[in-house]
Amino acid sequence: MSGPVPGEGFDAREVARLRLAVARLYRRLSQGAAGAELTTAQLSALARIEQHGPVRVGELAVLEEVAAPTMTRTLAPLLAQELAERLADPSDGRSSLVRLSRAGTELLAQVRRERSSVLARRIATLDPADQAVLLAAVPVLERLVGPESCGPTGPTGPTGRAGARSPGRAGRPW
């Protein structure tokens, strides 16, 4: 695979190298970490629930850019494992909200600690110049994944408009 990526003007090999590096880094961060038994979708749902507070399943589906039935299937094991819990919607008795349980909050914290530790150890193996280059690239990578930043300083709230699409899976803070 060489030459430009069709319609993009980027060298296909360089794009493939970046994609592969990101995928391998994600795999290394995930291996053996807490929450390894959960799917990416389940961890993302937990993180969204944490970000947005108690939320309706349909709203969570919009945030994750999936269909409501898909979100219901994603949440079922989280509810069964008591990582999340349902509660009555005070504004609509016919509806319910989903929130994180204490166990879900603790699991997300542990996942973040373990993955950050793995990443910090890997960064420490780089020479200082490479460390600086990598850390300088963080804002660019955050822009690449979308307006919803993975970092603590980025925007984390929904658009605030009813029915508006969010950035979805772009910025997974776990």
Taking 90 as the threshold, does the pLDDT of residue 161 lie above it?
Answer: no
Mark 133-172 as b/e (b = at least 16 C-beta within 10 Å): eeeeeeeeebeebeebbbeeeeebebeeeeeeebbbbebb
For residue 135, give the 3-state DSSP assignment. Answer: helix
User: Angle, to 10 degrees, between the axis of helix 102-124 and the axis of helix 40-52?
Assistant: 110
Given a contact cutoff of 8 angstroms between Cβ atoms, the answer to whether 54 and 98 are in contact is yes
Identify the structural domains of the chain with CATH numbers, from first to last. 8-36+102-146 (no CATH), 38-100 (1.10.10.10)
% of the chain residues with pLDDT over 90: 58
Q: What is the pLDDT of residue 140?
A: 94
Q: What is the pLDDT of residue 30?
A: 83
3-state DSSP of 1-70? CCCECCCCCCEHHHHHHHHHHHHHHHHHHHCCCCCCCCCHHHHHHHHHHHHHCCECHHHHHHHHCCCHHH
Q: What phi and psi values does residue 82 have, to the nearest 5 degrees?
A: 60, 35
Q: Where are the alpha helices (DSSP H) in 66-170?
A: 68-80, 102-124, 128-145
Q: What is the pLDDT of residue 6?
A: 63
pLDDT digits (tens, 9 = 90+) for 88-116: 989 888 889 999 999 999 999 999 999 99
Residue range 58-73: average pLDDT? 95
pTM for this model (two decimals): 0.71
Q: Could you give the dihedral angle defined by the CA atoms of residues 160, 169, 135 and 156, in that order, rounded to the nearest 10 degrees? A: 20
Neighbours of 12 (CB within 10 A): 14
